[in-house]
Amino acid sequence: MTDGRIEKVRLGTDGPEVGVQGLGCMGMSFAYGPADAGESRATLERALELGITLYDTADAYGAGENERFLSPFFKAHRDEVVVATKFALSIPPDDPTKRIIRNDPPYIRQAVEASLKRLDVDVIDLYYMHRRDVAVPIEETVGTMAELVREGKVKHLGLSEVTADELRAAAAVHPIAAVQSEWSLFSRDIEAKVVPAARDLGVALVPYSPLGRGFLTGSFVNAEKDLTDGDFRRQQPRFTGENARANAALLAPVRTVAEARGVSLGQVALAWAQQRAAVHGLPVVPIPGTRKPGRVAENAAATRIVLTEEELALLEPVAAKVAGDRYPDMAFTSAGRE
Ligand SMILES: NC(=O)c1ccc[n+]([C@@H]2O[C@H](COP(=O)([O-])OP(=O)(O)OC[C@H]3O[C@@H](n4cnc5c(N)ncnc54)[C@H](OP(=O)(O)O)[C@@H]3O)[C@@H](O)[C@H]2O)c1
């Protein structure tokens, strides 16, 4: 940090320059129980003061509601923020357990127009394919995304939860600025193939859920007991029943590191995610999600923490011991197809 603001990094070879930590905005409208709109707006403003410039949303978050919610903030700070949104996934409001995935060109064209309108911007800075529909060749999907760049509707392209092969095929069609995938102390499957491919191709990694959806902060253990009805985490195998209890015990080394340094568990988890950049040799911009100004400051401060080799060694075995998959259906992830 210089002048209290976080450092900057370029997303991929030709991507935008952003603060080295972004902000996940999903929870402001979707998935993690009730949100206070005023507090969420204050969080966005606080994030910008701290040098956080990459703001992550998707058309799927609350069926467009999250994009609409962010629109006034983006409009007020258009030149300072990098607007990242996604297409491909829809979650019917009347059945939140259902997922519809589409990657076909007519759908993409319809989705980008709808996002531009909801966000009320002329151009989307970073446009991600949110999930892969294997029925459509990736070259066709990225070909259409590249047309959107040429037409000035989108500046840079990203892909979420793609395999290494899908990433290579996509990058042969158009430069990819970033791959967004789950990556945390608890979820390291992408390190085997996706991360080395991204490094070779000059693509940045944007880890989502770097706090393990809040579990790594120690703020809840059993989602069914500790979280409100309708919270998405109540459907996730890792946070329920016997798995939740076993996984909570895995936080012991995170707590040891945190207590010795006088920092929070979440800060250790974020410092670990940030340090993947040095370990794997590529730009890494985690996007922790929060709706609280105090927490965004705490999270940004973690960009200043550099874990020692001893601390990293203590944290190294954790992921391999995690009980339960990160989604009920792993075909929804790159690891499930790799
Ligand atoms: N590409 C994809 O498929 C995909 C999937 C999931 C998420 N995402 C994106 O990634 C972003 C981040 O992931 P995520 O929100 O799932 O998980 P996360 O960042 O790992 O964790 C978010 C949770 O942690 C809590 N939290 C944040 N900072 C905290 C702190 N300092 N102390 C205690 N608790 C804290 C938040 O609660 P409060 O909000 O109440 O602070 C929230 O419940 C999302 O917002 C979304 O934009 C993308």
pLDDT at 3: 67
Q: At what angle do helices 105-119 and 138-150 cross, to 10 degrees?
A: 40
Q: Whose CA is nearest to atom 43 of ligand 1?
A: 214
Q: Read off the tokens for 96.
A: 């939140």
The more confident residue out of 288 and 220 is 288
Q: Note the CATH number of domain 8-214+273-305.
A: 3.20.20.100
What pLDDT shows up at residue 226? 87
Helix axes 252-261, 265-280, angle to 10 degrees: 100
Given a cut of 90, is residue 6 above it in pLDDT?
yes
At how many degrees (to 10) do helices 164-171 and 138-150 cross? 40
The pLDDT score that the predictor gives to residue 330 is: 86
How many angstroms is it from 233 CA to the middle of ligand 1?
Answer: 11
Judge if the beta carbon of residue 299 lies within 6 A of ligand 1.
yes
Cα separation, 54 vs 128, in Å, equals 13
Question: Residues with Cβ < 8 Å from 134, sequence gap 6 or more?
Answer: 337
Mutation choice for ligand 1 from 29, 132, 217, 330, CB with most ligand atoms inside 8 A: 217
Nearest CA to ligand 1 atom 11: 24
Note if the pTM is more than 0.95. yes
Nearest in space to 148 (alpha carbons), one of 140, 139, 157: 157
Average pLDDT of the residues of the chain: 95
Run of H or E residues at 147 = helix 138-150
Distance CA 50, CA 298 (A): 10
pLDDT-above-90 percentage for the chain: 84
Give yes or no for residue 158 CB within 6 A of ligand 1. Answer: no
Is there a contact between 220 and 247 (Cβ–Cβ < 8 Å)? no
All residues at 6 or more sequence positions from 211 whose CB lies less than 8 Å from its CB, including other chains: 184, 217, 266, 269, 270, 288, 289
* Bridge partners for 2 per DSSP: 5
The number of beta carbons lying within 10 Å of the beta carbon of residue 122 is 9
* Per-residue model confidence (pLDDT) at position 25: 98
Residue 74 to residue 221: CA distance in whole angstroms = 35
Q: 170, 195 in Cβ contact below 8 A?
A: no
For a ligand 1 pocket test, name from 70, 290, 296, 303 the mutation site with the most ligand atoms within 8 angstroms of its C-beta.
290
Alpha carbon distance 191, 173 (integer Å): 24
2 CB contacts (<8 Å, ≥6 apart)? none
Ligand 1 contacts CB of residue 162 (under 6 A): no
Spatial strand order of the sheet with 154-160 comes to: 23-24, 54-56, 82-87, 124-129, 154-160, 178-182, 204-208
C-alpha closest to that of 55 among 33, 32, 76: 76
* CB of residue 22 inside a 6 A radius of ligand 1: no
Ligand 1 proximity of 90 Cβ (cutoff 6 Å)? no
Percent of the chain residues topping a pLDDT of 70: 99
CA distance 268 to 170: 34
Ligand 1 mean position to 209 CA, how many Å? 5
Among protein residues, the one whose CA lies closest to atom 23 of ligand 1: 214
For residue 211, the model assigns a pLDDT of 98
Q: What is the tens place of the pLDDT at every residue in 290-338?
A: 999 999 999 999 999 999 999 999 999 999 999 998 888 888 899 988 8
Q: Which positions are catalytic? A: 61
User: Does 331 or 117 have the greater pLDDT score?
Assistant: 117
**Which residue's alpha carbon is nearest to atom 44 within ligand 1?**
24
Residue 225's pLDDT band (cuts 50, 70, 90): confident
Residue showing tokens 């789950």? 182
The pLDDT tens digits for 19-58 are 999 999 999 999 898 899 999 999 999 999 999 999 999 9
Tens-place pLDDT, residues 145-189: 999 999 999 999 999 999 999 999 999 999 999 999 999 999 999
What is the distance in A from the centroid of ligand 1 to the CA of 34? Answer: 14
Q: What is residue 238's predicted lDDT score, i.e. its pLDDT? A: 92
**Which pair of structure tokens corresponds to residue 311?**
């601390």
User: Ligand 1: which residue has its CA nearest to atom 25?
Assistant: 214
Q: How far is the CA of 224 from the centre of ligand 1 (A)?
A: 18
Distance 162 CA to ligand 1 centre (A): 20
